[in-house]
Amino acid sequence: MEKDEKIVFSGIQPSGKLNIANYIGALSQWPNLQDEDKCIFCVVDYHAITVKKNPKELRKRVIETAKIYLAAGIDSEKSIIFKQSDVSAHTELAWILNCIGARISDLNKMTQFKDKTGENKESASVGLYDYPVLMAADILLYGTEVVPVGEDQIQHVELARDIAKRVNNTYGDIFTIPKAVVKKDGARIMSLLDPSKKMSKSDENENNAIALLDKPEVGRKKIMKAVTDSNTGIYFNLEDKPAISNLLNIYAGLGNREVKRLVKDHKDSGYGEFKNALADVVENFLITFQEKYNSYSDENVLEILEKGKERAEKIAQERLNKLKNAIGII
């Protein structure tokens, strides 16, 4: 490893259609890191089965998600791209952390579990409840320092930090303490039809989100149909202008411009003109992204995942064995 090189780890579940919020909040951060740091990007399929999945669809989504990583600019030579279930150290470590690192009181604080289950906590799978511990295992196996994610994942990364500290206190210097990194603009992109709600790939109404594989003209239409605020003017203020502020974040994230600059450029625009400009940006972004996406075949991707598995396994096994040794399993 080069001096000053950091270890970066992140992942996305192959569940549902990845959307522009996943891109802006998480994926868009990744390619910028791979020249300086050691980057590991995982398709977290064991996280995806915490809620019921159709097996055929899951298999398809794993390949699609890996292709999306490549289309976003991840270089499989510089970075490791692999599938979580290919490296059994992840589930093995998750079990060990369940026993020696995580507490029920920690998991009871997780807001994502509360939001996802609502009134139906009792019928949720144990896996959905325990999901943050598997995520901690993903991160801690690799000596990760940096975890580039959207804002909703900060709490899970904080838990990984707490677990790492607890294990280190008892068993010595096993884990590196990781840190979440989120974007300044766009760490939380909201739904197009309801800016009080996060844009999410498991949303039932497809008009709330723009999928990365939506037809470009569909992306354009969704922007034109997005809700706006009741008062006029293009400026950023989450309380007063939640819908326009969200559109500004999307514009900045896909158009590579700063929100401040956009506000200046559009100070005299009406909503229609502003949306039209944003629709152009979205349409062009989708065209370019999908051209790149379509340049990879499924066979390409399977090969890349296979290579990634071998590289990831080596790193993961070493730290897992160190911990197993420390706790008396080997």
Residues with catalytic roles: 116, 198, 201
Which CB, 156 or 222, lies closer to ligand LTN?
156
**Binding-site partner at residue 9 among ligand ATP, ligand LTN, none, CB < 5 to 8 Å by type:** ligand LTN
Contact flag: residue 31 with ligand ATP (CB under 6 A): no
Contact flag: residue 44 with ligand LTN (CB under 6 A): yes
Helix (H) or strand (E) holding 185: none
Burial class (CB in 10 A: 0-12, 13-18, 19+), 68: buried
Is the C-alpha dihedral spanning 79, 82, 87, 92 positive or negative?
positive
Q: Which of 18, 66, 141, 149 binds ligand LTN (CB under 6 A)?
A: 149
Contact flag: residue 185 with ligand LTN (CB under 6 A): no
Binding segment for ligand LTN (CB under 6 A), chosen from 11-19, 182-190, 221-229, 267-275, is: 11-19
Which of 105, 124, 144, 102 is closest to 10 using CA atoms? 144
Tokens read off for 144: 């990760």
Contact flag: residue 316 with ligand LTN (CB under 6 A): no
- Which residues 255-274 are close enough to bind ligand LTN by CB under 6 A? none
Q: Residue 58: which residues within 8 A CB-CB, separation 6 or more?
A: 14, 45, 48, 49
For residues 159 and 133, what is the distance between their CA atoms, to the nearest angstrom? 8
Tokens read off for 77: 């030579």
For residues 225 and 126, what is the distance between their CA atoms, to the nearest angstrom? 39
CB 141 within 8 A of CB 286: no
Contact flag: residue 319 with ligand LTN (CB under 6 A): no
Burial class (CB in 10 A: 0-12, 13-18, 19+), 82: buried
Which of 185, 142, 138 is closest to 157 using CA atoms? 138
Q: Which of 7, 8, 25, 79 binds ligand ATP (CB under 6 A)?
A: 25
Q: Which of 37, 45, 92, 138 binds ligand LTN (CB under 6 A)?
A: 138
Tokens read off for 104: 């029920």
- Which residues 193-212 are close enough to bind ligand ATP by CB under 6 A? 198-202
Which CB, 20 or 93, lies closer to ligand ATP?
20
Contact flag: residue 135 with ligand LTN (CB under 6 A): yes
**Binding-site partner at residue 21 among ligand ATP, ligand LTN, none, CB < 5 to 8 Å by type:** ligand ATP
Which CB, 139 or 243, lies closer to ligand LTN?
139
- How near is the Cβ of 176 to ligand ATP at its closest, in Å? 20
Contact flag: residue 186 with ligand LTN (CB under 6 A): no
Half-sphere exposure for 185 (CA within 13 Å, toward CB): 20
Measured from each CB, the residue nearest to ligand ATP is 25
Q: Which residues bind ligand LTN (CB under 6 A)?
A: 9-13, 44, 47, 135, 138-139, 147, 149, 153, 156
Q: Which residues bind ligand ATP (CB under 6 A)?
A: 12-13, 15-16, 21-22, 24-26, 149-150, 152-153, 187-189, 198-202
